[in-house]
Structure 1
Amino acid sequence: MKKIVIFGNSGSGKSTLAKQLCEKYGLAHLDLDLIAWLPQTPPARKPLLQASVDIEDFINEKDSWVIEGCYSDLLQVAIRHACEVVFLNLSIEDCIANAKQRPWEPHKYESKAAQDNNLSMLIDWIAQYETRQDTFSLLTHQSLFDEFNGKKTLLCSNER
């Protein structure tokens, strides 16, 4: 059984790595972006308790899985069940370059144009990773990684 949690900055390659692991090992995949937000405009975070229940339901339904995201508060729920964590700690420049090359994500955006309209905001968000002190920050991701007692991998590039 594989139970892997992947985290890092936006644009670090979390979804790409998760998809590769799913294909290689036949794992179920949970992208935390899909449960972290309420379906409304403007966007608002789903209450932590509600999102936590969604994560626990996924974990209880699947034997082997990969869960990925940048939400340290939600990652803490998943990491309690994980056998392995992967921290993608790429440079800001690499994350921005990846974001600019990101293919359309139809599960997040109604069109490629809608996704592209969000790119400027995403690049600003990525650039703040090292200075933010919120649940999406380098500080909280480093803490998750340091405190995990199982198998852990730190990747500083997308070269695998």
Structure 2
Amino acid sequence: MVHIHVMGASGSGTTSLGRALAEKLDIAHLDTDDFFWLPTDPPFTTPRDADERIRLLLEETRRPGGWILSGSALKWGRPLERLYDLIVFVRIEPELRMARIRAREATRYGHRIGPGGDMEVKSGEFLEWAASYDTAGPERRSLAAHEEWLETQTVPVLRLDSSRDIDNLLTEVLLHPAIAAGAVRRRR
């Protein structure tokens, strides 16, 4: 069984890489947003109770076969930390990351985030929050908070530039000794 946490800023490709890894390894893909937020319309407006989100996530991690967790669970995911075999930290230039986010938001929500749309204000707030990732302090999801947290981890950390082709990123993760050893154990 392999347990990989793929983390980084919003728009850095954590979900895309997480999904691709899960598909390649034929294991579950879990995304922190699915546990952190209650399903609402508009989405991402109501956080789930912290105890409930960790209960749900731990329940999913007990499934046989391993899993990939994408996203960020810094402040609320401590019970998961002992389960990781590898942490993959993806980064990308802020300008490219924000361009990805704007394109993703437009595709997902269209006119809802435009002038007068029911998500206009929330979308603007989200974009402002996401843009400050590289400069904000460690009190919130930021580069500083991620670096601080990574310093406390005892499992290997693989740092990747997510502007690279997804196939190259996949290869690099799959060839990492922590994962290659797990793949060998699974085949036996």
Give yes or no for TM over 0.5: yes
Answer yes or no: is 1:149 the counterpart of 2:154. yes
TM-score (norm 1): 0.82
Is the CA contact 1:69–1:75 (under 8 Å) kept in the aligned structure 2?
no
What is the 5 A alignment of 1:11-160?
A: 11-40=11-40, 43-102=45-104, 104=107, 111-114=109-112, 119-129=123-133, 130-159=135-164, 160=169
Is the CA contact 2:6–2:89 (under 8 Å) kept in the aligned structure 1?
yes
Which gives a bigger RCO, structure 1 or 2 (Cα 8 Å, sep 6+)?
1
Shift of 1:120: 3.6
Distance 1:132 1:158, change over 3 A: same
Q: What per-residue deviation string (whole Å, max 9, x for no partner) do you get for residues 51-84 of structure 1?
A: 1101110111243100111331234332221100
Shift of 1:127: 1.2
Which stretch has the larger CA shift, 45-54 or 147-156? Answer: 147-156
Is the CA contact 1:4–1:66 (under 8 Å) kept in the aligned structure 2?
yes
Distance 1:148 1:133, change over 3 A: closer
Give the residue type in structure 2 aligned to 1:96.
M
Query: Unaligned 5+ residue runs, structure 1?
Result: 106-110
Shift of 1:44: 2.2
Distance 1:77 1:69, change over 3 A: farther
Is the CA contact 2:137–2:145 (under 8 Å) kept in the aligned structure 1?
no
Q: Which residue of 1 aligns with 2:7?
A: 7
Shift of 1:115: 6.5
SS class of match (1:101): helix
In structure 2, distance between residues paired with 1:133 and 1:95: 20
Give RMSD over aligned pairs.
2.4
TM-score (norm 2): 0.71
Instruction: Report the number of matched residues.
Output: 155
Larger radius of gyration: 2
